[in-house]
Amino acid sequence: MSTYAPRHAPSAFSTPASTTLFRRLTWEGTVPLEIRVASAELPANSDRGLECYYIQAARVSYLPLLVPEIKRFLSDVVFDEAAAQGIKEEDWWFESEDGAVFRWHWPIGLIYDNHTITMSTRPNTSAAPSGPLRLILHLASPPSEKLLLSPGSEACKQAFMGQLKEADFIRWGNTKRITGLRKAEQDGLWEGIKEHNFDEYWRVASKVTPTTSPARSQSPPPPSSVSMHTRPPSADPGSNGAPDRDGAYSVRSVPVRIYLPDGPVMQDLVPPLLEDGSINTLSRFLDTHLPLLFPADRAPLAYALIQGVLAPPEAEMAWLGACLAGADGWVNICVGLLREGIPRF
């Protein structure tokens, strides 16, 4: 773990070290992608055999942000000069091997995890993907009604800001925290993603993202302690007694979406504490929303991936919101099916 020690003093944001650690782990997560130009669309005189581009992409990034890099590669290596000049990246779009359109506005980590869980339902695939996710790059005729968003990083940025505000609204019932940011700060969030700069992003994001209280730095708790978590953290001995109004356990709801193989996407209010005052955990959340896959009285039929990690059932929803949310503020839970006992990753 030592290699992942936070390099910057968390005190600058008054964010506990453990929270900063998990935020950095989330930020530094990457997924392998193989991007292949649709062979029928390769321009004449292209150097065939090289039309594949491999990249280890940041989970918190977006496909439009990869386009300039891919374009540079294709222009330098694959296309001849005439073809390179004729490239119009506004016409580009990405598709999966089985013909599903990759959305511009989904974080890349979500695209990858969603593919993983989709594969978990296919009887003829031997295991969950172990290699890169294959994307087919089309150079023409974008199906705009399926892509839903204009191409380019500006439209993606608008969609990202929309998601941030929606997350803010979910947490607090208003978007004052985001709209209270100066324009330069709002732009800094997107720049941080574009440049993959953790500090630039979190300098601003820490003003809008709730944190876990320093007194509760032992997140997630050991499984045996679940039954002890029946009081809000502010009542824990060791905290100073004042409820943390901006804390992760004080939000109205945690921004969470559940992704099931081949859809649907489910979203509901997810309070950090349940009505009886006990802490809302991943297993209670899944028992409630997907009882057929996570029955309360026996072994689950499915597993939950968050940021590519098999999330432990005792993880607290508020903690997930503070530490494992994507850059857009959302905790994306991808649910895949368990098969033949132990699926391999």
Partner 1 sequence: MALTAGAPESHSRPLPSVWTSADAAGTMQEALEALDTYKKKDLTKVVVRFKAVGNAPIMKQNFYKISASNRFQAVIQFLRKELGWKAGDPLFTYINLAFSPAPDDTVANLFKSFSTDGHLIVNYSTTAAWG
CA distance 2 to 6: 9
CA distance 15 to 19: 7
Least spacing, CB of residue 162 vs partner 1, in Å: 4
Least spacing, CB of residue 291 vs partner 1, in Å: 9
Q: Is residue 101 within the footprint of partner 1 (CB under 8 A)? A: no
Site string for partner 1, 277-316 (x = CB under 8 A): -------------x-xx----xxxxxxx--xxxxxxx-x-
Sheet holding 93-95, edge to edge: 52-58, 30-37, 133-138, 93-95
Q: Which residue reads 């969609």 in tokens?
A: 159
Q: Is residue 235 within the footprint of partner 1 (CB under 8 A)? A: no
Q: Is residue 264 within the footprint of partner 1 (CB under 8 A)? A: yes
In this structure, what DSSP letter does residue 65 have?
H
Q: Is residue 215 within the footprint of partner 1 (CB under 8 A)? A: no
Nearest to residue 149, comparing CAs of 206, 88, 92, 197? 92
Q: Which of residues 124-143 bind partner 1 (CB under 8 A)?
A: 130-131
Least spacing, CB of residue 78 vs partner 1, in Å: 26
Contact 62, 193 (CB under 8 A): yes
Q: Is residue 96 within the footprint of partner 1 (CB under 8 A)? A: no
Q: Is residue 115 within the footprint of partner 1 (CB under 8 A)? A: no
Q: Is residue 268 within the footprint of partner 1 (CB under 8 A)? A: yes
CA distance 27 to 20: 10
Contact 313, 283 (CB under 8 A): yes
CA distance 127 to 198: 33
Q: Which of residues 187-206 bind partner 1 (CB under 8 A)?
A: none
Contact 190, 178 (CB under 8 A): no
**Is residue 116 within a helix (H) or strand (E), and if so which, with residue range?**
helix 108-119
Among 58, 251, 260, 322, binds partner 1 (CB under 8 A): 260
Number of residues that bind partner 1 (CB under 8 A): 74
Q: Is residue 338 within the footprint of partner 1 (CB under 8 A)? A: yes
Among 39, 179, 217, 240, binds partner 1 (CB under 8 A): 179
Per the structure block, which two tokens stand in for 274? 């349940």
Sheet holding 302-306, edge to edge: 265-267, 256-259, 331-337, 302-306, 309-310
Q: Which of residues 146-175 bind partner 1 (CB under 8 A)?
A: 148-149, 158-159, 161-163, 165-166, 168-170, 174-175
Least spacing, CB of residue 139 vs partner 1, in Å: 24
Site string for partner 1, 26-45 (x = CB under 8 A): x-xx-xx-------------
Among 53, 94, 112, 249, binds partner 1 (CB under 8 A): 112
